């Protein structure tokens, strides 16, 4: 149905794709896998009309040569792409965002038919199982709900022949993901080709018919899923065996309390929260999406002000007024779960994004930032974290997801924070990068840094954390000692904490 032959793409200094040939079939879910920077995003942008391949590359749609000159042409021909970074209009309604490219008007007056707009939008909200009013402003939705709106927008196209889904389950609960898979199975039966991109290999093994794997811009294999297992997929992706060390062992100084939170409350965001973080500790925050972990983190960093309670840092009551104040006075940093919106300035350079947290430290008496010091700091972090970029002046928005995440953490390492809140640090990055970040977080704790690790990835949090606090409905509902690092034992305890709290609050 869709065939790519000898597709290459060259950017200044980088060959992003190198002679890639893949044949996609109708009525199948075809997984496209690879590490960050392997070429997946570039290939998707060629299929969807954002980029043109080099001259030797050919695309065939339904056995006919097909030259895609724009995203509009791709959409017109039934090639629909869901991208995680697709921007929504925050002040517009859910219905407007879903229907923005197909707004119906009343025949007689020519004005927008709002009743029809909301009716059609609701049909797609019901399809994906999102229970919000079509008239709700996007700004009122949480991250997971926005993700579902993006999915609804992709599915609302009336002429879908090829549906490309790039990390569609990021931010979704398991229940929401399973509901999405049921929709995909239905679309597959209707003859639609689904190209599915995900770093969650368990999902790929569950729903894919065939798999193509890219590595360093080349397609290293295309095969039926029945001929592959998780280990084989990882080996093709990273070119070696996965590091399966079960645990990371670090030393926690229980005599040194670096952060104490007492009876912290913020209406609708945190209720009577109490916990202690020790020097060198990795403290896990686990819970379902929307359980209140990120909301608490944003209170701790000064993004939101709390109504009552106390925050004590290094034995002294803290007066947290802003994010800048939290960093400059209390040496506390926050690695955002939404790196594109909150963690990075995508339109600015690698150098600026890394050095921004230390500008006040490297400025002269007139407040002018030293370019030489800025360069030195940025280059050091690029080398330390093995960031793949063309240079200090490359725009961060042009980097792969894994390298963007490295930039996000580089700025906090540059600031030499003592406490780092890492919010979903491995969402949307590949197996190799996940290994890297696990080791990085562990090494920071060995250096005496204290880490709050917010993660919805249960294996990851059990692998890394010393203790795990369980969140539900904006409260801490339990604490699990994770010293055994035994997955079966700890996962049962976590699940029991969440389910018991729900029973109590029925």
Q: Is residue 294 part of a domain?
A: yes
Question: Within this chain, do residues 75 and 216 fall inside the same structural domain, yes or no?
Answer: yes
Is residue 337 one of the residues assigned to a domain?
A: no
Residue 445 contacts residue 282 (beta carbons within 8 Å): yes
Q: Strand, coil or helix: what is 443?
A: helix
Largest CA distance in the chain: 76
Report the C-alpha gap between 232 and 230 in whole angstroms. Answer: 6
Same domain, 424 and 406: no
| Assigned domain for 83 exists | yes
State whether 366 and 448 are in the same domain: no
Q: Give the model's pLDDT for residue 309.
A: 96
Looking at the structure, tell me whether residues 161 and 284 fall in a common domain: no
pTM, 2 dp: 0.69
Pairing label, strands 2-11, 253-266: unpaired
CATH number at residue 446: 3.40.50.300
pLDDT of residue 242 exceeding 70, the answer is no
> What's the number of domains the chain is made of?
3
Q: 151 in a domain, yes or no? A: yes
Residues 129 and 38 placed together within one structural domain of the fold: yes
Boundary-marking domain end, from 415, 432, 450: 415
Q: What is the pLDDT of residue 85?
A: 60
Q: In this predicted structure, what is the pLDDT of residue 145?
A: 83
pLDDT in tens, 254-308: 999 999 999 999 998 999 999 999 999 999 999 876 789 999 999 999 999 999 9
Burial annotation 169-193 (CB, 10 A radius, 16+ → b, else e): bbbbeeebbebbbeebeebbeeebb
Name the pLDDT band for 244 (thresholds 50, 70, 90). Answer: low
pLDDT, position 176: 81
What per-residue confidence (pLDDT) applies to 150?
85
- Band (pLDDT 50/70/90 cuts) for residue 505 is very low
- Strands (DSSP E) contained in 76-209 are 79-82, 162-166, 193-197
Residues 155 and 279 in one domain: no
Mean pLDDT score across all residues of the chain:
88
Averaged pLDDT for residues 359-380 = 88
- Does residue 231 lie within any of the structural domains? yes
pLDDT at 369: 86
Task: State whether 164 and 117 are in the same domain.
Answer: yes
Q: Which residue has the tokens 């065996």?
A: 241
- Of 12-16, 364-368, 425-429, 477-481, least confident by mean pLDDT is 425-429
472, 288 contact by CB (below 8 A): yes
Q: What is the pLDDT of residues 436-495, one digit of tens each?
A: 788 888 889 999 999 999 998 888 899 899 999 999 889 999 999 999 888 889 988 988
- Domain final position from 415, 445, 477: 415
Last residue in a domain, options 218, 238, 258: 238
Q: Please check whether residues 134 and 273 belong to one and the same domain.
A: no
Q: Is the pLDDT of residue 8 over 80?
A: yes
Quick one: 33 and 89 in the same domain? yes
171-200 pLDDT per residue, tens = 777 788 888 899 899 899 999 999 999 888
Position 426 scores a pLDDT of 82
Structural domain of residue 351, as residue ranges?
Answer: 344-415
Q: Are residues 209 and 324 in the same domain?
A: no
Comparing 208 with 240, which gets the higher pLDDT? 208
Q: Classify 445 as helix, strand or coil.
A: helix
234 domain residue, yes or no: yes
**In a shared domain, residues 272 and 375:** no
**pLDDT exceeds 70 at position 98:** yes
113: in domain: yes
Please report whether residue 338 resides in a domain. Answer: no
C-alpha 228/C-alpha 211 separation (Å) is 9
**If you compute the radius of gyration of the chain from its CA atoms, what whole number of angstroms results?**
24
In the chain, % of residues over pLDDT 70: 95
| pLDDT at position 503 over 50 | no
Q: Kindly state whether residues 16 and 140 are assigned to the same domain.
A: yes
């Amino acid at each position: 149905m869709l065939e790519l032959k000898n597709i290459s793409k060259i950017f200044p200094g980088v060959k992003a794709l190198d002679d890639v040939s893949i044949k996609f079939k109708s009525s199948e879910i075809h997984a496209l896998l690879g590490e960050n920077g392997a070429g997946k995003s570039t290939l998707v942008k060629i299929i969807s009309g954002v980029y043109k391949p080099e001259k030797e590359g050919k695309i065939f749609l339904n056995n006919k040569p097909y030259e895609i000159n724009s995203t509009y042409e791709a959409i017109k021909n039934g090639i629909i792409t869901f991208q995680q970074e697709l921007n929504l209009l925050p002040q517009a309604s859910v219905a407007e965002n879903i229907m923005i490219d197909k707004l119906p008007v009343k025949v007689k007056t020519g004005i927008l038919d709002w009743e029809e707009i909301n009716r059609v939008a609701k049909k797609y909200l019901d399809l994906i199982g999102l229970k919000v009013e079509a008239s709700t402003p996007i700004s009122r939705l949480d991250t997971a709900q926005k993700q579902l709106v993006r999915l609804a927008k992709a599915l609302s196209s009336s002429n879908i022949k090829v549906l490309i889904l790039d990390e569609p389950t990021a931010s979704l609960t398991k229940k929401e993901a399973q509901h999405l898979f049921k929709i995909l199975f239905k679309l597959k039966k209707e003859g639609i080709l689904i190209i599915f991109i995900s770093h969650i290999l368990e999902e790929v093994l569950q729903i894919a018919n065939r798999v193509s794997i890219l590595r360093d811009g080349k397609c290293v294999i295309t095969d039926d899923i029945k001929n592959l297992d998780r280990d084989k997929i990882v080996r093709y992706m990273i070119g070696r065996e996965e590091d399966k060390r079960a645990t990371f062992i670090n030393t926690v100084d229980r005599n040194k309390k670096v952060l104490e939170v007492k009876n912290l409350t913020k209406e609708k965001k945190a209720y009577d929260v109490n916990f202690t973080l020790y020097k060198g500790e990795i403290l896990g925050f686990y819970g379902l999406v929307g359980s209140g972990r990120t909301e608490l983190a944003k209170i701790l960093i000064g993004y939101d002000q709390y109504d009552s309670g106390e925050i004590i840092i290094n034995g002294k009551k803290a007066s947290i007024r802003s994010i800048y104040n939290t960093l400059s006075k209390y040496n506390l940093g926050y690695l955002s779960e939404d790196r594109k919106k909150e963690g990075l300035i995508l339109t600015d350079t690698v150098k600026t994004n890394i050095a921004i947290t230390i500008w006040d430290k490297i400025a002269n008496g007139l407040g002018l930032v030293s370019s030489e010091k800025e360069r030195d700091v940025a280059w050091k972090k690029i080398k330390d974290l093995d960031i793949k970029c063309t240079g200090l002046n490359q725009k961060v928005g042009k980097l792969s997801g894994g390298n963007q995440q490295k930039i996000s953490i580089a700025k906090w390492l540059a600031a030499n924070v003592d406490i780092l809140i890492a919010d979903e640090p491995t969402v949307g990055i590949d197996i190799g990068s996940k290994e890297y970040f696990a080791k990085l977080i562990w090494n920071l704790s060995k250096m005496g840094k204290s880490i709050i690790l917010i993660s919805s990835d249960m294996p990851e949090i059990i692998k890394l954390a010393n203790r795990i606090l369980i969140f539900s409905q904006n409260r801490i509902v339990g604490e699990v000692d994770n010293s055994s690092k035994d997955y079966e034992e700890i996962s049962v305890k976590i699940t029991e904490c969440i389910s018991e709290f729900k029973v109590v609050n029925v």
